[in-house]
Amino acid sequence: VINRYGFNSDGHAAVEQRLKEMQKYYELFRPGRIVGLNVGKNKTSPHAVRDYVQGIESLGPYADYLVVNVSSPNTPGLRNLQNEKELRELLGAVVAARDKLPKREPINYIEQRQKRRDAHVWTLAYQFGIWPMEEDYDFRYTSFSRPALPPVLVKIAPDVSPETLQGVATVVRDTKVDGVIISNTTIRRDFGFEHENLQERGGLSGRPLKEMSTKVIADFYKLTNGEIPIVGVGGVSSGEDALEKIKAGASVVQLYTALAYGGPGFVTKVKRELASALQTSGYASAQEAIGADHHRISGAAAADAATATATGGGERGWFW
């Protein structure tokens, strides 16, 4: 898919009202579901840092995690913010704004479920027998709480040079950003195939992006010795693709283009395929496979490090 949406929005006030309404819905119907907030600068704004900070201040209280998007190819000049000097200024300001947000109480999933039952709020999914299965899945993790402040992740492009990627790794460590999303769409078109729309303007996603994004994941994992959680995205259309991202260094995998084509049920399909691929490859869990393509950490240390990243242990753990 080639898209050139950009950062279209009705503005902070309109989005905040939607998030308020959605928050009420989630408390009753969908406890434990994660809401991410993707923040970018306005297309014509001369004050990029101010745009990001205002977005965090206005909408951060409603988010489970915050994404600093510096990699959309559809906003002029945005990718320049990936340069070390500009990125350091931006992330320093964003983390400072995040740290000033009101602290949140940990989510207690059991209490939320009981509250919903006491109010006699039932969903169609529950009536058809789907909801209890989802609850069983969610409530395996009740010992883990979401952090008091939303984690900050920076989303980078797959087209970054090695020098830029090194700068990103340095800045992320120095500013104590919680994770990196790798990657956004690509502006490249030299993938060895032809299509009448291939030269359309915009960011290309889907299968052609898979190898590019996986390589950047692997390179970033090596640059940071696996210390920074990575969300792997780009060209994932099967459980095997997801496992490739995990073995390269991703702690979490996202779907975009394949989800658009396959619909919501595609997530379950990929999860089942991933479980099968893990078993076939001899991994007891996805955590055990994180960074398996690298040999910087071995044996019990690798398992300990993966578990700490996935469950919220250690200085930068934030998954719950």
Query: Checking phi first, is residue 32 left (phi over 0); if not, alpha (psi -120 to 50) or beta?
Result: left
**Are the beta carbons of 204 and 185 closer than 8 angstroms?**
yes
C-alpha 248/C-alpha 219 separation (Å) is 9
Q: What is the DSSP string of 7-24?
A: S--S-HHHHHHHHHHHHH
Cα→Cα distances 248→97, 177, 287, Å: 32, 20, 12
Question: In the annotation, is 238 catalytic?
Answer: no
Catalytic residue (choose from 72, 183, 213, 251): 72
Sheet strands (E) in the chain: 2-3, 36-39, 65-69, 152-156, 179-182, 203-204, 230-232, 252-253
- Rounded to 5 degrees, what angle do the CA atoms 68, 214, 155 make? 5
Separation of first and last alpha carbons in the chain:
32
Provide the annotated active-site residues.
72
